[in-house]
Structure 1
Amino acid sequence: MKYMNDPRLLGTKLKEYPIEEMFRQPQQLPFTLQQYEPGEIILLEGVEMKSLLFLVEGKVKITSSIETGKSLLLRFIHPFSIIGDIELIRDVPVQSQVKAVDQCLFIGLQFDYIKKHEMDNPKFLHILLEHLSYKLQTCTTASRVNVLASVENKFASYLLSTIAPEPDTNFGIELKTSNIKEIADLLGTTYRHLNRVILSLSQKKMIERDKNSIRIVNWTVLEEMSNGIRYK
């Protein structure tokens, strides 16, 4: 992670997203600008969190640890998203692991400042409540999928959550196969079982797999298999 001293970029992002309007005196707020590289851990479960983070660029993966030491996928988040709302309100350590999928940019505001100046601000609390309720909805969905859905259903949901369609085509940006073991862990299955699922979907012409990547071929059938569930 690196802090960026770029007032122009900060000003642009503050205008692009409804951050300043949440606060009473936005021109005086001690905002920070933080950049994370692809694959970089943003937050680890159990650590103390000191700033509320507003995602303004990039995609982030949220996972939760289980007793076996593996992680389960909860959701992917995109701009505009807030990280740290639960930790701020409940005064608890970080509840989930947060990892950058691609290069990410955050605007941060320290908890100490918020607790001193904004915790009785109705507009700030209202927007925080909107994000918390959406987070609860997505986490409830993810929990139901992780417990009840088959690996085929979960993998279809994962593919449709992570592979964006290319403009004017029915194909999607490739998913690299180097992280199949990680994906299997996130979906609560084994590497071998997930490989069997991938082989089956390839034979059914729903996806194409080569040595290094997976591409969606039949979006319609995968949509049906996912039951409309997305990890986001």
Structure 2
Amino acid sequence: MVKKNLITNDCTCFLCKHALKEWHAAILAHKKNFKVKKGEKIFKEGDPVNGVYFVYSGTVKVYKKWDAEKELIIRFANDGAILGHRGIGNEAVYPVSASALEAGVVCFIDMEFFEASLKVNPEFAYQLLMFFADELRESEKKMRNLAHMPVKGRVAEALILLNKQFGTSPEGYINIDLSRQDLASYAGATYETVFRVINELVAEKLITLSGKSIAIANYDGLLQLTQQEASVPVLV
């Protein structure tokens, strides 16, 4: 990632929200803000850990290798969310990658200061623990869905989660510019399968389209699809 430090006193990230007010001056002294371009990789799976990141503006996708040519998107990060925390531990390598879906600004905190922040700020340490627990729960649910939920249900759930996280535009469309390939990676399916499922959902009047934008037309109908299970474990 090309790093060009921005001078800003904004302190709205996950760390600032849960740190002691007396610690904010130290955060401002140690943090580095950088612009990222659309498609720019912030860190890569397998890279040595040098710190953690926070999203100040824009949207970032966090993903793992699925195979040689595919990826599985674990989550989308925005609004001050933390990135790179999965690299905390003895192995000291990032187990996931993170790339910008759109131009934005991220904040970098080196690992030494991040660990000092954990020791000094009990509320921050507690909230990070809760975040880890929620993320682990969602990861386990996602793995179960990959094995047991039909792909149509996984696409429906992906749309529901995106709608919940990003809200809707004034026109009613999910407020994120997401390619069909990224939607497929988020649902754990192939591009071709997701293309077919999207057309089926439109025909069933569960969603509507406008270019790449998607609007949920029948929330209850989508939700019902997420409650179905495949007769045998499948990965599509």
- Give yes or no for TM over 0.5: yes
For 2:107 and 2:5, the matched residues in 1 are separated by 10
Give the share of equivalent positions with the same residue, in percent. Answer: 19
For 1:102 and 1:138, the matched residues in 2 are separated by 24
The aligned counterpart of 2:98 is 98
The aligned counterpart of 2:202 is 202
Q: Tell whether 2:33 aligns with 1:30.
A: no
TM-score using structure 2 length:
0.76
The aligned counterpart of 1:21 is 20
Pairwise CA distance, 1:45: 0.6
- Matched residues, number: 220
For 1:58 and 1:110, the matched residues in 2 are separated by 21
Pairwise CA distance, 1:2: 4.2
Pairwise CA distance, 1:143: 1.6
For 2:54 and 2:211, the matched residues in 1 are separated by 37
The answer (yes or no) to whether the contact 1:87–1:93 under 8 Å persists in 2 is: yes
How has the CA–CA distance of structure 1 residues 118 and 80 changed in structure 2, closer, same or farther, with 3 Å as cutoff?
closer
How do 1:124-135 and structure 2 match up within 5 A?
124-135=124-135
Unaligned runs of 5+ in 2: 228-236
Pairwise CA distance, 1:47: 0.8
Q: Secondary structure at the match of 1:13?
A: coil
The answer (yes or no) to whether the contact 2:34–2:105 under 8 Å persists in 1 is: yes
1:48-91 deviation line (CA, Å, top 9, x unaligned):
22122122333222221123431112222332322222313334
**RMSD value, Cα:** 3.1
For 1:52 and 1:6, the matched residues in 2 are separated by 19
The answer (yes or no) to whether the contact 1:207–1:216 under 8 Å persists in 2 is: yes
For 2:185 and 2:14, the matched residues in 1 are separated by 39
The answer (yes or no) to whether the contact 2:44–2:98 under 8 Å persists in 1 is: yes
Q: Secondary structure at the match of 1:144?
A: helix
Unaligned runs of 5+ in 1: 228-232
TM-score using structure 1 length:
0.77
The aligned counterpart of 2:168 is 165
